[in-house]
Amino acid sequence: MMGSGNLNQFEGRFMTNEPMSRHTSWRVGGMADRLYIPHDLEDLKLFLGELKEDEQLTWIGLGSNLLVRDGGIRGTVIATKNMEDSIILLKGGLLLAGAGMSCAQLAKTSVKYGLTGAEFLVGIPGTLGGALAMNAGAFGGETWGVVHSVTTINRRGVERIRSKEEFNIAYRNVELGKDEWFLSATLKLKSDIDQNGKAIIKDLLNRRSNSQPIGEASCGSVFKNPDTGEPAAKLIDKSGLKGIAIGGAVVSEKHANFILNKEDATAEDIEKLINKIQQVVKEKFNVLLIPEVRIIGTYMPEGTSSNG
């Protein structure tokens, strides 16, 4: 996959045949051929410069919205989660942050800077890059609701500043060009005149731990809420699916839109459970639930077992 370069020149962490279960919050997923965690932007560019032109690339953050199939991922995965990312306060309520920064850190720092509007990000266990790609949201807030502009990078390491208006922003989805990924974002926030930020953060974290199985292996909400009618969790609950299991994958009793990896589930168990929920809810309510979670990678080859 690499050109003439020497791996020793990179400061990041390079791994081969790396289990994706180590890089996803569901703790499932087969091996990535290669996985790289860049140290910083310069290092990322150096690494990209050494890739073969046709190397298949998969970009991830903290893997908190990913189901990686048991056959793993061909090519190279770039994980921005531990990248040395800065957060800079600019004039006029603008905050510039790197895509590898965690949403929690971003929310807390924005409050420290006396800004309001990004508190909702506090309990979302992903990176800013993932939040941009997913248009992550919670408690009425949405990532792109506070974005002013972003910088993207392509596989040749070329950076590009793009305004919010250039994107097609949808519920839990934002389209990016092929071979283009988020590098940073400038958020437009308001001055927190009432200085309520810390209290808002505390309240949001409390509300989350009261309603969600925090601390268990999951990807958060599996399905998007349908456009009309009741939320996905309600439909799943009313279908009597709370607690049902396939292999080690179980529908949470606390929040019906969460699937937990309870007992060494495989990605196959989880995908089967996703399909089962879709089928039952469709039969009962004639609503097709669409997964919010991104399902990637290959199946195990025919005749082999996910359980090894």
Ligand X SMILES: Cc1cc2nc3c(=O)[nH]c(=O)nc-3n(C[C@H](O)[C@H](O)[C@H](O)COP(=O)(O)OP(=O)(O)OC[C@H]3O[C@@H](n4cnc5c(N)ncnc54)[C@H](O)[C@@H]3O)c2cc1C
150 to 43, 98, 129, 205, 264: CA distances (angstroms): 20, 10, 10, 27, 38
Exactly one of 221, 239, 252, 306 is catalytic; which is it? 221
User: Is residue 64 near ligand X by the rule CB under 6 A?
Assistant: yes
Share in percent of the chain as helix, strand, coil (round to 5): 25, 30, 45
β-strands 249-251, 259-261 pairing: antiparallel
User: Is residue 48 near ligand X by the rule CB under 6 A?
Assistant: no
Exactly one of 18, 119, 271, 292 is catalytic; which is it? 292
271 is catalytic: no
**Residue list 258-277, contact with ligand X (CB under 6 A):** none
Closest to ligand X by CB, 91 or 178: 178
Closest to ligand X by CB, 167 or 285: 167
Where residue 92 falls (left for φ over 0; alpha for ψ -120 to 50; beta otherwise) is: left
Closest distance of CB 33 from ligand X, Å: 16
Q: Which of 13, 129, 119, 133 is nearest to 62 (CA)?
A: 129
Q: What is the DSSP track for 92-161?
A: TTEEEEETTSBHHHHHHHHHHTTEES-GGGGG--SBHHHHHHHT-EETTEEGGGSEEEEEEEETT--EEE
Closest distance of CB 284 from ligand X, Å: 26
172 is catalytic: yes
Closest distance of CB 258 from ligand X, Å: 7
268 is catalytic: no
Neighbouring C-beta atoms of residue 239, cutoff 10 Å: 19
Closest distance of CB 84 from ligand X, Å: 15
Please select the residue that binds ligand X; options are 29, 71, 93, 129, rule is CB under 6 A: 129
**Residue list 213-232, contact with ligand X (CB under 6 A):** 214, 218-220
User: Is residue 28 near ligand X by the rule CB under 6 A?
Assistant: no
Q: Which of 242, 265, 289, 301 is nearest to 67 (CA)?
A: 265
Exactly one of 172, 184, 218, 306 is catalytic; which is it? 172
31 to 2, 53, 267: CA distances (angstroms): 19, 22, 12
Residue window 151-190: x/- pattern of binding to ligand X, with contact defined by CB under 6 A: -------------------------x----xx--------
Residues with catalytic roles: 172, 221, 292
Site residues (CB under 6 A) for ligand X?
25, 59-66, 80, 99, 124-127, 129-131, 133-134, 136-138, 176, 181-182, 214, 218-220, 294
